[in-house]
């Protein structure tokens, strides 16, 4: 019984420490930035039809114009531990398993405006290590589906983030690597949700394989972050 009590206390302590968050408000998206993991864990934005239509015009911003990794000026310097060098170094040290700069709020959804593009492309508060295949396949298609919905549905509410564990941490040097990426889309009161495994075991190219009920996703998020205010 004592061992069980100690285990429960340890589990609670580890889980609770993951909610030391500060809210970072940018022009087009908001970040719940975790000061233990030193990265964003839950980001929120609106996807509008006007933004979607702007992507089809000359207002669209190319990735090459936002190619420099920049630390988020709204995050205190002591928490800015992730840099472009870390992503490059990982891939040099692990040539058989590629990691991408995973964008929590997708660049493609923000490429309608130079400020939106700059804030999302390489701000450290909007990036996390992401398995290369998952990033370019299942998650890319999931993000595209949400973006395409804005063609006919205005003001889509989107929450998206990464689940990072202290109880079974995956790390590269002092940087935590998430177990999962997740996304919630709320359109006209209808809620859709996805949870994608963030490692090389995820070889799916189908968003449907990552689909999950919102209740199940909430429960999983709160297992990782028991004190996080979800907002959905």
Q: How confident is the model at residue 97 (pLDDT cuts 50, 70, 90)?
A: confident
Homologous superfamily, domain 2-224:
Extracellular Endonuclease, subunit A (3.40.570.10)
Is the pLDDT at 231 greater than 90, yes or no?
A: no
Is the pLDDT at 14 greater than 60, yes or no?
A: no
pLDDT tens-digit profile of 54-64? 987 767 888 88
Q: What is the pLDDT of residue 13?
A: 40
| Choice among 8-17, 74-83, 114-123, 211-220 with the minimum mean pLDDT | 8-17
Break the chain into its structural domains and give their ranges: 2-224
pLDDT tens-digit profile of 113-128? 988 988 888 898 999 9
Q: Identify the three-state secondary structure at position 144.
A: helix
CA angle 119, 125, 131 (to 5 degrees): 105
Q: What is the pLDDT of residue 19?
A: 65
Q: What is the pLDDT of residue 223?
A: 95
DSSP 8: H
**For the chain, what is the mean pLDDT?**
88
Could you give the CA distance from residue 75 to residue 22 in angstroms, rounded to a whole number? Answer: 9
pLDDT tens-digit profile of 26-62? 999 999 999 999 999 999 999 999 999 998 776 788 8
């Amino acid at each position: 019984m004592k061992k069980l009590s100690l285990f429960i206390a340890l589990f609670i302590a580890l889980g609770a420490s993951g909610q030391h968050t500060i809210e970072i408000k940018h022009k087009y998206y908001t970040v719940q930035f975790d000061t233990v993991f030193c990265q964003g864990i839950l980001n929120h934005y609106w996807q509008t039809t006007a933004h979607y239509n702007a992507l089809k015009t000359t207002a669209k911003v190319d990735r090459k114009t936002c190619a420099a990794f920049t630390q988020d000026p709204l995050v205190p310097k002591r928490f800015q531990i992730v840099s472009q060098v870390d992503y490059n170094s990982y891939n040099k040290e692990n040539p058989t398993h590629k990691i991408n700069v995973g964008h929590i709020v997708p660049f493609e959804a923000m490429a309608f405006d130079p400020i939106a593009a700059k804030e999302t492309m390489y701000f450290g508060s909007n990036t996390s290590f992401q398995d290369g295949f998952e990033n370019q396949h299942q998650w890319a298609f999931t993000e595209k589906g949400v973006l395409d919905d804005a063609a006919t549905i205005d003001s889509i509410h989107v929450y998206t983030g990464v689940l990072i564990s202290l109880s079974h941490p995956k790390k590269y040097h002092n940087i935590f690597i998430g177990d999962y990426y997740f996304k919630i889309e709320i359109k006209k009161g209808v809620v859709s949700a996805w949870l994608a495994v963030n490692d090389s075991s995820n070889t799916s190219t189908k968003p449907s394989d990552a689909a999950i009920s919102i209740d199940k996703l909430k429960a999983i998020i709160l297992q990782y972050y028991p004190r996080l205010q979800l907002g959905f």
